[in-house]
């Protein structure tokens, strides 16, 4: 009897440990740790374990497994708001925007929240339905005026729909007032100011972004092209070299760097940078469309 009892209690006693370990691997962003922790098949385990597994699979680029895991979690708790929201975000990351919207709508039946409407707005944004995206972001802000993500995206929509600089600035500033150190907001506000010839304001935003997120190649790229516009070629070279070191396939940074090398009288380096631009120009795209939604708004293939 004792042996049977031990076997019956084993899954209950070990699964919390497996979930805890998986969560720790996710927080550390250690892919080898994630791979070792994901021993069970994608659809097996408790709702808590499967929820963590879905995030882990996304980090490993195993999108199908992520969707399987969160779907299996919902079979045990079909009306759980948090799991439905996670399913919506998982579908978003996997590029399945219609399914994402369906999951967010189911979550709304469990609880009307600002995050639900932000999620729906992001899916419409990724489907390039900017009018409907803007409506949902606005509703998200109405439900919670502290939803800085929705506030930020309203600024992006202002640029996309009407090139409304004043409206975009107002939304970006409200978002930054709520989350002052957000490098994503600082980066794109800096780009907006740069595109409208406010170089001093752009430099202030981009310098703050660089302090908040020094490993972001887009921050260094935009600082580099701003320095080039301002005539500071040595600083432009430093920033652009950092950008291509962090993301070698960032073709527009190689394009800018070639011009800077020519200005500095280094034709051999300019030639190599031009070759790198031609090599990578068809691969130059943002890796995370949800994490960097506004970067496409201001993007020039050559980064001029």
Structural domain total, the chain: 1
How far, CA to CA in Å, does 243 sit from each of 42, 77, 87, 111, 268?
Answer: 37, 45, 34, 43, 20
Residue 30 lies in a domain: yes
pLDDT for residue 249: 93
Task: CATH number of the domain at 66, please.
Answer: 1.25.40.10
As to burial, measured by CB atoms within 10 angstroms (0-12 exposed, 13-18 middle, 19+ buried), residue 254 is: buried
The residue segments making up the domain with residue 32 are 16-107
Residue 121 lies in a domain: no
Token digits of residue 299: 């993007």
pLDDT-based confidence at 19, cuts 50/70/90?
A: confident
In angstroms, rounded to a whole number, what is the distance separating the alpha carbons of residues 279 and 92? 30
Residue 85 lies in a domain: yes
The helix or strand, by DSSP H or E, that contains position 170, with its residue range, turns out to be helix 165-178
- Residue 282 phi, psi (nearest 5): -85, -10
pTM of the model: 0.82
Cβ proximity of 119 and 85 under 8 Å: yes
Cβ proximity of 66 and 94 under 8 Å: yes
Q: What is the pLDDT of residues 80-128, one digit of tens each?
A: 999 999 999 999 999 999 999 999 999 999 999 999 999 999 999 999 9
Residue 69 lies in a domain: yes
Residue 38 lies in a domain: yes
Residue 75 lies in a domain: yes
What is the residue-averaged pLDDT of the chain? 88
Cβ proximity of 227 and 210 under 8 Å: no
Residue 148 lies in a domain: no
Residue 162 lies in a domain: no
Cβ proximity of 118 and 142 under 8 Å: no
């Amino acid at each position: 009897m004792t042996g049977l009892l031990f076997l019956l209690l084993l899954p209950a006693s070990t699964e919390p440990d497996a979930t805890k370990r998986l969560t720790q691997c996710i927080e550390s962003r250690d892919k080898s740790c994630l791979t070792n922790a994901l021993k069970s098949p994608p659809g097996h385990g408790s709702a808590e374990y499967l929820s963590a597994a879905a995030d882990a699979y996304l980090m490993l680029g195993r999108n199908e497994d992520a969707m399987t895991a969160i779907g299996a979690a919902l079979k045990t708790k079909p009306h759980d708001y948090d799991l439905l929201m996670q399913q919506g975000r998982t579908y978003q990351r996997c590029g399945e925007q219609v399914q994402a919207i369906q999951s967010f709508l189911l979550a709304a039946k469990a609880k009307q929240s600002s995050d639900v409407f932000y999620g729906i707005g992001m899916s419409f944004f990724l489907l390039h339905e900017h009018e409907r995206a803007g409506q949902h972001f606005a509703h998200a802000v109405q439900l919670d005026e502290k939803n800085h993500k929705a506030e930020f995206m309203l600024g992006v929509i202002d640029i996309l729909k009407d090139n409304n600089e004043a409206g975009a600035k107002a939304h970006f500033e409200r978002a930054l007032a709520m989350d002052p150190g957000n490098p994503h907001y600082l980066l794109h506000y800096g780009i907006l100011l740069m595109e409208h010839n406010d170089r001093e304001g752009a430099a202030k935003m981009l310098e703050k972004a660089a302090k908040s997120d020094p490993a972001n190649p887009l921050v260094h790229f935009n600082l580099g092209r701003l320095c080039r516009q301002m005539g500071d070629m040595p600083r432009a070279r430093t920033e652009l070299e950092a950008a291509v070191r962090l993301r070698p396939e960032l073709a527009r940074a190689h394009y800018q760097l070639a011009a800077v090398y020519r200005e500095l009288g280094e034709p051999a380096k300019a030639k190599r940078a031009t070759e790198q631009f031609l090599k990578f120009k068809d691969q130059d795209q943002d890796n995370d469309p949800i994490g960097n939604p506004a970067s496409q708004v201001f993007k020039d293939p050559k980064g001029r």
